[in-house]
């Protein structure tokens, strides 16, 4: 899973025009209501798919490099603040590693001293393959180098860089951004070897007071779970808010979700459910709440449940009772 910040970053920094951005997002499985959420966790497949779609849309094999070059501190939320407030780059990486799952569960990294003067950062992508994986790792590697420069104010150039992918047809832009010609392909891992002096440089953004506050906040965040990332879950929340307040029809709900009734039915079918089943599920969930204060079936409770009359609620109530 990825925090929605990651796919949004891809959409915002690859050079997509507004119309293409929206179309590409939807093709990757990201709807407007997902992107408008500040803390939703979405499938990592969304970000991976975006890289391929953006490359195809722009006809640009350097699309991941452009996005990496556009990095600025703070773009990646809490993950960035854990790093940027630390005294040095090495301490910042150590500070954000335990909380990496606040932004993604699909990546990890390790630091290992190569010798007394070098430290290697090995980056791992757990799920992803093909061209999507290549682009995602190009971004991850180059963005780490760009970030090191922005945070230290130094012209940080890695000692060497390794990629698991095979060598592309041209590497001039990659070499330019990395600042080194020692770039190897077909390696066992994706990694960057930094000079220890660069990693131990004081960050221009260091703030010990804010660092303590950010860390305490990070410690309070529960383990990530998928939230409001399926059509079914999103619709369930909308139905609960509408029952008893206004007429509930598939077209009204679809408009709330910025889609059409037909498209919503198709999305629900893809998730193994139907409009009727989900409306009934929402009404049952609503009844579980209403029943505590109004245990008898009345006209008032029927209206609260979104039913036109008492008989319809009684039939549903009998059905739910048999399901328990």
pLDDT of amino acid 278: 87
Q: Between β-strands 160-162 and 183-184, what pairing exists: parallel, antiparallel or unpaired?
A: parallel
How far is 306 from 52, CA to CA, in rounded Å?
A: 44
240: tokens are: 């609960």
| Residue entry with tokens 């979405």 | 42
pLDDT of amino acid 289: 63
Task: Classify 54 in phi/psi space as left (phi over 0), alpha (psi -120 to 50) or beta.
Answer: alpha
pLDDT, averaged across the chain = 86
* pLDDT tens-place string over residues 48-103: 999 999 999 999 999 999 999 999 988 888 999 999 999 999 999 999 999 998 89
pLDDT of amino acid 242: 78
Phi and psi angles of residue 110, each rounded to the nearest 5 degrees, phi first: -135, 145
| Residue entry with tokens 């682009």 | 135
Cβ neighbours of residue 161 closer than 8 Å, sequence gap 6 or more: 141, 145, 178, 180, 182, 183, 184, 191, 192, 193
How far is 120 from 324, CA to CA, in rounded Å?
A: 57
How far is 48 from 58, CA to CA, in rounded Å?
A: 16
239: tokens are: 């139905």
* pLDDT tens-place string over residues 1-33: 889 999 999 999 999 999 999 899 988 888 777
How far is 274 from 261, CA to CA, in rounded Å?
A: 12
More confident call, 146 vs 127: 146
pLDDT of amino acid 88: 96
Query: pTM, whole model, 2 decimals?
Result: 0.72
Helix (H) or strand (E) holding 175: helix 172-178
Of the candidates 86, 301, 122, 307, the residue with the CA atom closest to the CA atom of residue 209: 86
* pLDDT tens-place string over residues 98-143: 999 889 999 999 998 877 899 999 999 998 889 999 999 999 999 9
pLDDT of amino acid 48: 92
Q: How many residues are recorded in the chain?
A: 324
pLDDT of amino acid 6: 94
How far is 199 from 152, CA to CA, in rounded Å?
A: 9
| Radius of gyration of the chain measured on its C-alpha atoms | 25
Helix (H) or strand (E) holding 192: strand 190-195
SS3 73: coil
179, pLDDT greater than 60:
yes
Picking from 99-103, 113-117, 222-226, 269-273, which range would have the lowest pLDDT averaged per residue?
A: 222-226
Instruction: For the chain, give the percent of residues with pLDDT over 90.
Output: 52
How does DSSP classify residue 88?
B
Ordered domains of the chain (ranges, CATH): 61-220 (no CATH), 231-323 (1.10.10.60)
Phi and psi angles of residue 179, each rounded to the nearest 5 degrees, phi first: 80, 20
Compute the average pLDDT of residues 164-168: 94
How far is 133 from 47, CA to CA, in rounded Å?
A: 10
Strand partners, 88: 202
| Residue entry with tokens 């979700």 | 257
Strand partners, 236: none
Helix (H) or strand (E) holding 256: helix 250-256
In Å, how far from its chain's centre is CA 292? 38
Sheet holding 183-184, edge to edge: 107-115, 118-125, 190-195, 160-162, 183-184
Instruction: For the chain, give the percent of residues with pLDDT over 70.
Output: 85
């Amino acid at each position: 899973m990825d925090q929605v910040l990651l796919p949004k970053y891809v959409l915002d920094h690859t050079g997509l025009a507004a119309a293409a951005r929206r179309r590409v997002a939807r093709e990757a499985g990201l709807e407007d209501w997902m992107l408008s959420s500040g803390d939703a966790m979405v499938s990592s497949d969304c970000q991976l798919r975006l890289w391929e779609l953006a490359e195809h849309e722009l006809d640009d094999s350097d699309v991941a490099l452009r996005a990496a070059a556009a990095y600025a501190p703070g773009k990646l939320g809490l993950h960035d603040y854990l790093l940027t407030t630390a005294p040095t780059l090495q301490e910042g990486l150590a500070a954000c590693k335990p909380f990496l799952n606040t932004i993604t569960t699909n990546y990890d990294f390790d630091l290992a001293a190569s010798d007394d003067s070098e430290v290697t950062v090995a980056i791992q992508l757990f799920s992803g393959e093909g061209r999507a994986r290549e682009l995602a790792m190009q971004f991850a590697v180059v963005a780490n180098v760009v970030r090191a420069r922005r945070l230290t104010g130094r012209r940080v150039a890695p000692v060497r860089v390794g990629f698991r992918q095979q060598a592309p047809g041209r590497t001039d832009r990659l070499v330019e951004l990395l600042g080194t010609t020692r770039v190897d392909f077909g390696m066992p891992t994706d990694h960057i070897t930094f000079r220890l002096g660069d990693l131990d440089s004081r960050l221009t953004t260091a703030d010990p007071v804010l660092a303590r506050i950010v860390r305490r906040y990070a410690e309070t965040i529960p383990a990530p779970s998928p939230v409001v990332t399926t059509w079914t879950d999103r619709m369930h929340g909308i139905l609960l808010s509408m029952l008893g307040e206004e007429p509930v029809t598939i077209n009204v709900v679809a408009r709330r979700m910025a889609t059409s009734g037909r498209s919503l039915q198709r999305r629900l079918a893809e998730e193994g459910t139907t409009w009727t089943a989900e409306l009934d599920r929402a009404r049952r969930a609503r009844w579980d709440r209403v029943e505590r204060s109004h245990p008898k079936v009345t006209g008032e409770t029927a209206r609260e449940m979104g039913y036109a009359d008492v008989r319809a609620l009684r039939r549903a109530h009998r059905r739910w009772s048999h399901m328990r």
